[in-house]
Amino acid sequence: MSAEAAGTEYGALSVETLGERLSGIDRLEERVGADPSLWKVREVGDGNLNLVFIVEGPKGTAIVKQALPYVRLVGDSWPLPLYRAFYEYHALIRQAERDPGSVPEIYHFDEAQALIVMEFLSPHVILRRKLILGEQVGGLAERLGLFCARTAFRGSELSMESGRKKADVGLFSGNVEIPAITESLVFTDPYFDAEMNSHTPGLEPIIATLRGDARMKARVQRMLMTFASNTETMLHGDLHSGSIMATETEAKVIDPEFVQYGPMGFDIGMLTANYLMAYFSQPAHRGADLEAYQEWLLEVITGTFAAFKAEFARLWREERTGMLYPAALFEDQGQPSDEARDELLRNIWQDAMAICGIEMHRRCLSLAHNADFEEIEDVAMRASLEVRNLMMGRDLILNAETIADPAALCDMARAYNGKDVL
């Protein structure tokens, strides 16, 4: 508990109280100015879970993010522990260390108030918004590929000393209720008649097909088991296009409150799904530039995996200091470890493909749909585009092991993009 919070019960901030409550925090005053009466405070939280304030003062601007004790999207009928701010903070400082510059700078953390004061990113906007508007982001693939590779590698026992990694697994194992949302909303709810599900009218036949496919559901549940019990590395845990803020030339990753240890392919798999959902939704958002923009999205996917693979290989060569695949067993005996690395990369790719397919399902079938599809007002068109997405998702889940590479994945997307199933 921070000094400020000692003896203070948690209380949700408001535009009116923020100045008084947060005055005296050195690093906030440094950023925005010391006199809270001069702060302009706006609440801008448009996510599903938290309060987010922009605090603008004479010296500059900062973000104040505060957890609410319930799911904002649903209301206080769905309580959610405040401790997620603690885990988000610990995730952010690790991400900043493992991939410098990839996340907002942290100015202050108050555990009791479940709040984080951090860098105001400007002129960044949420990447999902840019993808709906058909805007490109220079260097996006490279930036996210590096982020996924560096956090995957440097958070694992390929790199970390085992005792430290295990202590970290212990620390994050306390983050139970937040990963539980993923466990149910992503892996389970889409495949039965769960209470909070919703879907576009017209999807009923395809939903029946998906729920009738016991083999596919078994694979989804096997992946849930991997997600819930494979502590390969520290994940972001919710790396979709709403967790990335971007300009024309820069991207930063935000909101890692779903942090947990999990499989290395999870973040990049979920990210890929969100690019593919942007891809499939484009016919409703674009005009003459449709094909060019869709192809750019596929280039982002192949570029992300290319950057991931290249950076993973570099780290494998230069930073393989953990207990796994030690040089003593390979290089020191005059044997290369390239095949061992490629086999592991193959496993990561396969996990990513299955996770990608599952994420493509849940965003159309359970709670928390994404704007790429939701903002399509023509319901029939929305349904027909969602079907392409849902069918490709199923294909990915069933055939994760046989998709050769990102180019093959993009060919699959092009093929589904031309299919009219409904």
- Report the interface residues with a copy of itself, using CB under 8 A: 156-157, 162-163, 166-167, 169-170, 173-174, 176-177, 180, 183-184, 188, 191-192, 194, 211-212, 214-215, 217-218, 221-222, 224-225, 228-232, 261, 323-326, 328-330, 332-333, 335-337, 339-340, 343-344, 347
Residue 124's SS3 state is coil
- 19 versus 190: smaller Cβ distance to a copy of itself: 190
CB of 358 to a copy of itself, least distance (A): 13
Residue 241's SS3 state is helix
Strands (E), 255-378: 260-262
> Residue 131 corresponds to which tokens in the numbers above?
């993808």
Distance (Å, rounded) from C-alpha 404 to C-alpha 22?
53
CB of 62 to a copy of itself, least distance (A): 33
Contacts of 133 by beta carbon, 8 Å cutoff, 6+ apart: 285
- 106 versus 340: smaller Cβ distance to a copy of itself: 340
- 12 versus 180: smaller Cβ distance to a copy of itself: 180
CB of 265 to a copy of itself, least distance (A): 13
Distance (Å, rounded) from C-alpha 301 to C-alpha 276?
8
CB of 187 to a copy of itself, least distance (A): 9
CB of 329 to a copy of itself, least distance (A): 5
Distance (Å, rounded) from C-alpha 15 to C-alpha 33?
17
Distance (Å, rounded) from C-alpha 147 to C-alpha 151?
6
Distance (Å, rounded) from C-alpha 316 to C-alpha 310?
10
Distance (Å, rounded) from C-alpha 164 to C-alpha 137?
36
- 218 versus 379: smaller Cβ distance to a copy of itself: 218
- 280 versus 316: smaller Cβ distance to a copy of itself: 316
CB of 250 to a copy of itself, least distance (A): 33
CB of 419 to a copy of itself, least distance (A): 26
Which residue type, as a one-letter code, is found at position 118? M
Residue 28: φ, ψ to 5°: -75, -45
- 106 versus 224: smaller Cβ distance to a copy of itself: 224
Is the alpha carbon torsion for 98, 100, 104, 108 positive or negative? positive
Distance (Å, rounded) from C-alpha 280 to C-alpha 286?
11
- 323 versus 408: smaller Cβ distance to a copy of itself: 323
Distance (Å, rounded) from C-alpha 251 to C-alpha 253?
7
- 39 versus 227: smaller Cβ distance to a copy of itself: 227
Ordered DSSP codes for 159-170: TS-HHHHHHHHH
> Residue 41 corresponds to which tokens in the numbers above?
């405070």
Strands (E), 113-213: 115-119, 125-126
If phi > 0 it is left, if psi is from -120 to 50 it is alpha, else beta; for residue 128 that is: alpha
- 110 versus 257: smaller Cβ distance to a copy of itself: 257
CB of 406 to a copy of itself, least distance (A): 23
CB of 192 to a copy of itself, least distance (A): 4
